[in-house]
Structure 1
């Protein structure tokens, strides 16, 4: 990764911070984004070469400005990691509609906007990688997480379609499906009225250490894996049961290579 630049959203803690430290240890320059500038700076202190770009992922103007700065810093972004997100712990029956809007805005729409701002530069260079952090809950509908599942399923769908479109452009797309990782995701999850839950789950507290998860993720991206499941036990089994066969990804890429996009555009 020497000479490469990695931009990570949600980099102030948890998986994002661990990914930043892992890539930095491999020689990458890292761009760290999130809302908490102080915590981003703490992560940056552990990285040999880092740029802190704090902003709220839902702020389109701030995202556009950050994208401009990120592209100018080293002349491009080699790996873009859409990691920012918030989880949920509430029954659909009791959940305010605004909670759905907020979670989908943060976990799906904002991550799409992040990627959209970088597609053109990567295609122009003919190289680059996108890594989208979904979840095992992006493969299996999990109770108490209807909004979160909707967003994470949606993020995977966007990423899979984007991969097909970019399959002949030199740009790779990876979707990561973590299970229980020992982070604050449960503590920060939204409840039925949109407030933070404020407490964690035993399964999360006893989950995979973020540092170990990050190493697995970075190794898999380097190996070119398109679908990356990072989980243990029952969660891993559920993810593997819903794994997309590589031949299906290849079949869709072959459609693109055969001119599917050009035919569709010609037909209007």
Structure 2
């Protein structure tokens, strides 16, 4: 992986799921890793599984702490002297109908999934500009391209990320900065269990679609291939990827297909 060798890669949401699998996959690629999430203990476990501790730093991060991003970016840069790639993977999902959902749930989804990601990405931008080099790998979702019931706030936050990072790419291509948007469908992670319900409490149960999704190891390999090729977007999943093209060419048909699927 010549384009990754020697790079410093910062992964948020690295304590489980896709972030953990990405850290494990990259740990043998001769690069430096910075692992971030809220749970420092879980991050230490991931670090121990990676095996090359000298090349891995653990940096706790809460995306809801927008004001603390300057300090956390400075710490990240101090570990290895630079950051080449920021993988914006952390976030939270939702499972509740609009009519039942408390407004505070929407605010939390925006604060974490959208504003937290924007705050971190904006704070590291001067570092990327100074180095005339940088790559944002932002994990959105297929829900950032089309919608599905029970995910209104999640879809809204993920759609917003596409708008922001498309402009980031346009404005800073001249500064050697790249942007890859990663859009997973169903992946076998705890995303459904951790999803917020109508009152803001976690769902605490899985769903069949997530259980039958692709593995996080598969998703990690697809991500690595995508940012090695500097793709603008990559779609990861099974038949749900077809929704991208139905939305573009046959939006009414997609509407019927999604409603018929009864996916929760």
Q: What TM-score do you get using the length of structure 1 for normalisation?
A: 0.88
Report Cα offsets for 1:102-161 as digits up to 9, x if no partner: 011110000001101111111111111001100011101111000000000001110101
Contact 1:182 1:207 in 2 (8 A): yes
**Shift in alpha-carbon separation, 1:240–1:50, aligned structure 2, 3 A:** farther
What is the CA–CA distance in structure 1 between the aligned matches of 2:46 and 2:27, rounded to whole Å? 10
Q: Give runs of ≥4 in structure 1 deviating > 3 Å.
A: 240-243
What is the CA–CA distance in structure 1 between the aligned matches of 2:61 and 2:224, rounded to whole Å? 25
What is the CA–CA distance in structure 2 between the aligned matches of 1:115 and 1:55, rounded to whole Å? 13
Residue in structure 1 matched with residue 102 of structure 2 by the alignment: 96
> Is 1:66 matched with 2:76?
no
Residue in structure 1 matched with residue 220 of structure 2 by the alignment: 214
**What is the aligned counterpart of 2:5 among 2, 10, 22?**
2
Show structure 2 runs of 5+ residues with no match. 249-264
**What is the aligned counterpart of 2:243 among 234, 238, 242?**
238
What is the CA–CA distance in structure 2 between the aligned matches of 1:150 and 1:191, rounded to whole Å? 16
**Shift in alpha-carbon separation, 1:240–1:42, aligned structure 2, 3 A:** farther
> Is 1:177 matched with 2:177?
no
Show structure 1 runs of 5+ residues with no match. 244-268
Q: What TM-score do you get using the length of structure 2 for normalisation?
A: 0.89
- Once the two structures are TM-superposed, the CA of residue 61 in structure 1 deviates from its matched residue by 4.3
**Shift in alpha-carbon separation, 1:100–1:211, aligned structure 2, 3 A:** same
**What is the aligned counterpart of 1:190 among 191, 196, 199?**
196
Larger displacement relative to structure 2 (52-61 or 105-114): 52-61
Contact 2:188 2:214 in 1 (8 A): yes
> Is 1:16 matched with 2:19?
yes
What is the CA–CA distance in structure 2 between the aligned matches of 1:208 and 1:225, rounded to whole Å? 21
- Once the two structures are TM-superposed, the CA of residue 25 in structure 1 deviates from its matched residue by 2.2
**What is the aligned counterpart of 2:147 among 132, 141, 147?**
141
What is the CA–CA distance in structure 2 between the aligned matches of 1:236 and 1:102, rounded to whole Å? 27
- Once the two structures are TM-superposed, the CA of residue 225 in structure 1 deviates from its matched residue by 0.7
Contact 2:180 2:226 in 1 (8 A): no
- Once the two structures are TM-superposed, the CA of residue 63 in structure 1 deviates from its matched residue by 2.7
What's the secondary structure of 1:162's corresponding residue? helix
CA RMSD of aligned residues (A): 1.2
Report Cα offsets for 1:16-44 as digits up to 9, x if no partner: 11111122222221101111111101111
Residue in structure 1 matched with residue 209 of structure 2 by the alignment: 203
